[in-house]
C-alpha cells in the first residue's frame, strides 16, 4: 500500500504526469489527463468507482482490481505496475 502522495509523486518521477499534475492531484483530487483517459477506456460500470478511487483515495493498494485495470488501460505490464509501487514505497 502506498499513499496518494507517493503514487502521484512516482508517476511524476517516471514522466507519466507532470509535477504540476502530481501536486494538483494531491491537493485537490483532480485526476491527471493520462489517468482520466485510462479511466474512460474502462467498461462504463467501472468508471465511477475508478474516478472515486483515483480522485479521493488517500492510499492505493497494488492488489486492488482497479489498479490492474487502470494499469492495463495505461499500457503497463504487471511488472511495470509492481515497479511503480516498489519505487513509490521508497519515497
For the chain, domain boundaries: 2-89
| Interval 50-85: pLDDT, tens | 999 999 999 999 999 889 888 888 889 999 999 999
As a whole-number percent, the residues of the chain with pLDDT over 70 amount to 100
Rounded to whole angstroms, the Cα distance separating 66 from 61 reads 9
Question: Whole-model pTM?
Answer: 0.91
Three-state SS for 59?
A: strand
Mean pLDDT of 17-26: 97
Around 13, how many Cα atoms within 13 Å sit in the side-chain half-sphere?
14
Amino acid at each position: 500500500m502506498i499513499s496518494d502522495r507517493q503514487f502521484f509523486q512516482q508517476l511524476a518521477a517516471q514522466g507519466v504526469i507532470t509535477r504540476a499534475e502530481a501536486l494538483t492531484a494531491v491537493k485537490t483530487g483532480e485526476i491527471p489527463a493520462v489517468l482520466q483517459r485510462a479511466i474512460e477506456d474502462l467498461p462504463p460500470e467501472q468508471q465511477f468507482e475508478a474516478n472515486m478511487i483515483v480522485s479521493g483515495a488517500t492510499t492505493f493498494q497494488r492488489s486492488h482490481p482497479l489498479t490492474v485495470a487502470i494499469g492495463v488501460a495505461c499500457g503497463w505490464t504487471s511488472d511495470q505496475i509492481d515497479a511503480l509501487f516498489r519505487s513509490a514505497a521508497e519515497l
